[in-house]
Amino acid sequence: MLKFSNEVLELLPQKPPFLFVDKVMERGEGTIKTSLTLTGEEDFFKGHFPGNPIMPGVLLQEASFQSGALLMATMSGKGLGVVTKVSNAKFKNFVKPGDELIMEVTLIDQVSNAYYMKGRSSVNGKVVMAIEFSCALIEE
């Protein structure tokens, strides 16, 4: 079973089993680096694909979105980050049980409550996904 840092549990509205960041590794001005260690016990591996499990691309995207939400939370305080646009998603390698997925998200621009970001995910230094996305920070 995954152990999530208290910071992740406190800042993200998502909760297990729909939480795809287990810790914040680094933070900089307009950047964040997070990780998710996959145990192989995650439910999605059971059906995607039996005998050759890989993490679904849509969940790789979600991990970047959640990392972006953590960045937004540390910059702006409370609110709900809602994805408003996804573009240029590129999948380059597979993520398998036992991998440590590293997500790096960079804020490109902010206009009012709109955040424009780029994400890059890797395993063992190899890029598995690159994506551009925008989110709106909605006050709760």
Catalytic residue among 23, 27, 48, 96: 48
The sign of the torsion formed by the CA atoms of 78, 80, 84, 89 equals: positive
Dihedral sign, Cα of residue 1, residue 25, residue 21, residue 8: positive
Task: Return contacts of 114-121, CB within 8 angstroms, 24+ apart.
Answer: 114/84, 115/68, 115/71, 115/72, 115/81, 117/68, 117/71, 119/64, 119/67, 119/68, 121/60, 121/63, 121/64, 121/95
Structural contact between residues 86 and 132, judged by C-beta atoms closer than 8 angstroms: yes
Give yes or no: 48 in active site: yes
What is the Cα Rg of the chain in Å? 14
Residues annotated catalytic, as ranges: 48
